[in-house]
Structure 1
Amino acid sequence: MRFGLSFLPDCSPGTRSATDYYDDVLGLSRMAEQAGLHYVKMTEHYLHPYGGYCPSPLTFLAAVAAQTTRIRLMTGCVLPVFHHPIQLASHISMVDALSDGRVEVGFARAYLPYEFSAFQVPMDGSRARFEATVNAVHRLLTEEHVDEDTPFFAFQDATVLPRPVQRPRPPFWVAAVQTPASFVRIGELGHGLLITPSGTSFDPSLVDAYRQSFLEHHPDRQPRVAASVPVLVADTDQEARRIADPYLSRYLEVWSSALTSWDSTASTDYADYTGSGHRIGAMTAKDMRVFGSAVVGSPEQVVDRIGRFQQDVRADVLLLQTDFGGLGGSEARRSLDAFVSSVMPKLAGEYTGPAADEPGSAARHEGPTS
């Protein structure tokens, strides 16, 4: 298992300034590299405290690249339906060059109605737009003189600059939440899978379906699964709960607020999303801890929780969400330090350093084509 940090800002000027937030997460990114973690991941959102402090994950990762030398830089995720593929591919290649080949690209379909409305992109048909854009980005990163003609965009003879450092291109990941067909399709396309177990249950058979589909269509390669989970480690379970619960409650409050736009929205491409704000709004911090959508406790408790999670999911990468609810400063740093010093050593059988044929090693310019 590899480890990293996953950031999804859920604060606003009324709770934390953007400058303070960026200072904290950049500092945590430097800590992660020094501690030997493998990834920093940042998510794209707009117009709301839920993610609004990061409209451009690639801009954030360029800043991380300037302050680090080894750690992998993952978008988690960019929202391709809001971007032209030439723009997105060019920006990916630029950050890949700035970081000397450390970028990995996570894509997500986007799911917040107010974002689609603001960009004047219809939700119905977004699945087809998503696949067309990701495919075009793939072609632009791996080919020159590219022609595309789709219902969503068209261009001719396009060769993006700079060319990517990693060959044939930076690795791709795609996020899935609850639709079985999405997990199967990601495996069929041969991408890595990003999951964020949330709510009161997560069905590990969805991950099994992804792996089976991947191996059926790409028997010469291995599927990869990365999971992002809010994590807080303290000396005792009681102390961890005392620190984490107010921030988990804030996390749920901001998330459910963003989802209220689903109260009056329905889309054929987003089955079962209508009314989702009520479901998240009914959850509590305790629910997140009990059902495993947040990992909170002493080092021993966190090791046990991760072990149980791994029995079901067998993730290749575990990404710690350390900024949930606007958590930052000394509390976030202490939690990360406790994870590195007291949790990772107890997971030593599952944790290893970069292998010689992995991205981030001397062979990074020949990164995997997932």
Structure 2
Amino acid sequence: MRLGVILGDVRKSLPPAEHLDALLRQVEAAQRNGFSHITMGQHFLYGDLRWLQPIPTLARLAAELDEHVTLATTIVQAPLYHPVMLAEDLATLDILTRGRLVVGIGAGYRRDEFDALGVDYTQRFRMLEESITIMKQVWTQDEVSYAGRYWTVRDGHTHIRPFQSPHPPLWLGAMGEQGVRRSARLGDGWPVTPEIRGPELVRLMSLYEDERIRLGRPLVRNPLRREIIPAASTEAAYERFEAMAKERLLAYANRQLATRDAGELDREFREVARKETFIGTPDECVRQIAEFAQVFPVDPILVRAQWPTMSGDDVVAYLDDLGRDIVPAVAGLTPVDRVVRV
């Protein structure tokens, strides 16, 4: 089993030069510690935080890429782009990475972003499907002609093919039944969020697999977005996670940037952490990951190393802890091929 890191936001007050330097340090530390994926999400008009845009940032990071590392967008919001523009940007990025790109793509969930950009929030799922259809044509055909509900392309002569054939793998985001079916039908993996857990995760992953089988598509292991928090003791691990993440997770929930309830987070942070993270001593974390992998077909696990409260040294120290205690211990784990249903 592999580990990847998702690059997050910082306080807007951090000078841009320091932000870039910290980002490069984080990427160097992740690669040095054996991480397999460097990934990055996306938001617009982010207020008191700075979230660099993923496509140009990952293009810069491609120059730092070791051969064992893949870059991924997790996720880019397709309805906010013209599909031809997005397809060409991503094909270019695939070339710059020499074919080490995964395209994580989704519909988005913040209404204010759509309102600011003049896009109808209520149509985002239909727009996502239409966008993927057009993008796949741009990536695989010499000429594109498409008349859809949202976009029309007439006699478009394509000029940028991805490095990978027919195109980079697609991780298609989803939170509910309809989205999971869409991901099974149109994507190559379903990025599982921390909030989906327990019996609900069994149910949705079973639905995903059933849909893949119905369509004659191969079963896959899905990327899992989940924190891993090791420390010398279980109590120290909870204290570490609170210091790293509690303030920002509460802010996300209050600003509707996450699906968790802010009240639940504030009242029962440790209980939420217990359910949504792998947390404890290194041995406890590895045991929790191994038990999870015996039930769910997941790979890689994507963790967040940097939170706005953390210094660059804190981030590197955290990645070094994972590289020493977690990455080699889970490398020999082989997750199940199909979800274990109860």
For the superposition of Structure 1 and Structure 2, which TM-score range results when normalised by the shorter chain? Answer: 0.7 to 0.9
Partner Cα distance (2:267, 2:118) in 1: 32
Whether 2:301 is the aligned partner of 1:303: answer no
Task: Letter of the 2:2 partner, please give it.
Answer: R
Partner Cα distance (2:209, 2:48) in 1: 31
In structure 2, the partner of 1:107 is: 105
CA contact (8 A) 2:250 2:266 kept: no
Partner Cα distance (1:30, 1:310) in 2: 28
- Residue 286 of structure 1 and its aligned partner are, at CA, apart by 1.0
Task: Letter of the 1:53 partner, please give it.
Answer: W
Distance verdict in 2 for CA 1:312–1:283, change over 3 Å: farther
Partner Cα distance (1:81, 1:50) in 2: 24
CA contact (8 A) 2:220 2:297 kept: no
SS of alignment partner, residue 106 of structure 1: strand
Q: Deviations over 1:53-90 (max 9, x none)?
A: 12x21111111101123211100000000000111011
Partner Cα distance (2:310, 2:184) in 1: 34
More deviation, 111-120/147-156: 147-156
In structure 1, the partner of 2:11 is: 12
SS of alignment partner, residue 46 of structure 1: coil
Task: State the superposition RMSD in angstroms.
Answer: 2.5
- Residue 282 of structure 1 and its aligned partner are, at CA, apart by 4.5
In structure 2, the partner of 1:138 is: 136
In structure 2, the partner of 1:217 is: 215
CA contact (8 A) 1:173 1:194 kept: yes
**TM-score (ref. length: structure 1):** 0.82
In structure 2, the partner of 1:356 is: none
In structure 1, the partner of 2:319 is: 336
Partner Cα distance (1:80, 1:68) in 2: 25
Partner Cα distance (2:48, 2:158) in 1: 32
- Residue 191 of structure 1 and its aligned partner are, at CA, apart by 2.5
Task: Letter of the 2:225 partner, please give it.
Answer: S
- Residue 330 of structure 1 and its aligned partner are, at CA, apart by 2.0
CA contact (8 A) 1:180 1:206 kept: yes
- Residue 206 of structure 1 and its aligned partner are, at CA, apart by 0.7
More deviation, 96-105/30-39: 30-39
- Which consecutive residues of structure 1, in runs of 5 or more, have no partner in the other structure? 263-272, 353-370
In structure 1, the partner of 2:184 is: 187
Task: Letter of the 1:296 partner, please give it.
Answer: I
Partner Cα distance (2:127, 2:109) in 1: 13
In structure 1, the partner of 2:203 is: 205
Partner Cα distance (2:49, 2:127) in 1: 22
CA contact (8 A) 2:78 2:128 kept: yes
CA contact (8 A) 2:70 2:100 kept: yes
Distance verdict in 2 for CA 1:326–1:61, change over 3 Å: farther
In structure 1, the partner of 2:236 is: 239
Distance verdict in 2 for CA 1:345–1:277, change over 3 Å: closer
Distance verdict in 2 for CA 1:281–1:234, change over 3 Å: closer
- Residue 196 of structure 1 and its aligned partner are, at CA, apart by 1.3
- Which consecutive residues of structure 2, in runs of 5 or more, have no partner in the other structure? 336-342
Q: Deviations over 1:91-132 (max 9, x none)?
A: 111111111111110001100011011011112121111110
Partner Cα distance (1:198, 1:18) in 2: 32
Partner Cα distance (2:182, 2:49) in 1: 26
In structure 1, the partner of 2:338 is: none
SS of alignment partner, residue 226 of structure 2: strand
- Residue 37 of structure 1 and its aligned partner are, at CA, apart by 2.2
Whether 2:56 is the aligned partner of 1:59: answer yes
Q: How does 1:84-103 map to 2 (within 5 A)?
A: 84-103=82-101
Partner Cα distance (1:107, 1:344) in 2: 27
Q: Percent identity?
A: 21
Partner Cα distance (1:130, 1:90) in 2: 16
Aligned length: 333
CA contact (8 A) 1:81 1:133 kept: yes
Partner Cα distance (2:7, 2:216) in 1: 31
- Residue 49 of structure 1 and its aligned partner are, at CA, apart by 5.2
CA contact (8 A) 1:2 1:351 kept: no
Task: Letter of the 2:205 partner, please give it.
Answer: V
In structure 1, the partner of 2:159 is: 161
Task: Letter of the 1:289 partner, please give it.
Answer: A
Partner Cα distance (1:172, 1:199) in 2: 20
| Equivalent residue for 1:252, pick from 249, 253, 256 | 249
Distance verdict in 2 for CA 1:75–1:159, change over 3 Å: farther
SS of alignment partner, residue 320 of structure 1: strand
- Residue 252 of structure 1 and its aligned partner are, at CA, apart by 1.5
Partner Cα distance (2:184, 2:220) in 1: 7
CA contact (8 A) 1:251 1:325 kept: yes
